[in-house]
Amino acid sequence: MKILSFVTATVIVSFSALTAAAAADCKPAHQFPTVTSGTLTVAAYELPPFSSVKNGEFNGIDPDIVREIVGMECLKVEVISLDPAAAIQAVLSGKADLTVGNWYRTAARAKVLSLSAPLYLDQMGVISKEGATKVSQLSGKKVGNIQGYLWYNDIAKLFGDSAITYPNSVNMAQDLAAGRIDAGFESYVVGKEAQKNGAYGGMKVEIIEPDDSVAASKEPAQSNFPHTKDNPKLTDALKDDINALHANGKIGEILKKYGLDPSGANTGEPRVIQ
């Protein structure tokens, strides 16, 4: 009999916001139950720049947003470091209140978990030497197209044999570097993070402008915090807190802090990927 162990490491993280949380005069914006009273338990995995748990520190775009939320709600944070599949399972099994790491709002996920208000967009990007920003600028050129991405089918249809299919970003990056393709379609955030770590030298990573022929360029995936389905008060609190962070520009500031375009904070109305 195989027993699955969800928790690989538990890290108690001290945010600066927790100083306020410990103060007697801290008044939470909402009241909602959590796995452990007074603590928000977060399942996280390694996916920079979205989420990172290393050397006892909880860093990244999602952790910074969590930091703002626990400050508003006068909570402490317990971070459980897991692999991606186990992070979702930790929430499903009631071991964590929510999970972080650029989780898309999808119809399938909404059936088993509650989805928070949208955090930011995972915008469609393109990598090229010329700094292309439009699909039309790549007409007649060989482009890289990664399997499983939201735009895969549209790009395959639009470019035909000129769209080279890749199983992952690494293989596409190798062909870009070797000049076997002229440009590659990639998540803007993933491309920027890879470039920060030494990939795509001499190239530009840009956001694709909206194009009617590529649905994902017009409606990128919205990221969220999947959380326990039977906790509507938590859902409402997350919605209010996230909307407040959009209204005061904080989420845009966080994206900019990590070298990203703050326009990713302009999520539009909540939607799900079917």
Write out pLDDT tens, residues 52-73: 998 888 999 999 999 999 999 9
Sign of CA dihedral 200, 206, 212, 214: positive
Q: Domain 9-120+223-265 maps to which CATH number in 3.30.70.260, 3.40.50.300, 3.40.190.10, 1.10.940.10?
A: 3.40.190.10
- 22 by Cβ neighbours in 10 Å (0-12 / 13-18 / 19+) ranks as exposed
- Region for residue 231 given its phi and psi (left: phi exceeds 0; alpha: psi -120 to 50; beta: otherwise): beta
pLDDT at residue 131 greater than cutoff 80? yes
Query: What does the alpha-carbon distance between residue 161 and residue 212 come to, in Å, rounded to a whole number?
Result: 21
pLDDT at residue 160 greater than cutoff 90? yes
Total number of residues shown for the chain:
274
Tokens for 3, please give them: 């027993």
Segment 240-257 shows an average pLDDT of 98
Name residue 199's amino acid: A
Q: Is the Cβ–Cβ distance between 99 and 90 less than 8 Å?
A: yes
pLDDT at 116: 98
Q: Is the Cβ–Cβ distance between 207 and 274 less than 8 Å?
A: no
Q: pTM for this one?
A: 0.88
- 96 by Cβ neighbours in 10 Å (0-12 / 13-18 / 19+) ranks as buried
pLDDT at 14: 47
pLDDT at 5: 38
Q: Is the Cβ–Cβ distance between 62 and 40 less than 8 Å?
A: no
- Residue intervals in the chain for CATH 3.40.190.10: 9-120+223-265, 124-218
Segment 255-273 shows an average pLDDT of 96
pLDDT at 21: 45
Please state which CATH number belongs to domain 124-218: 3.40.190.10
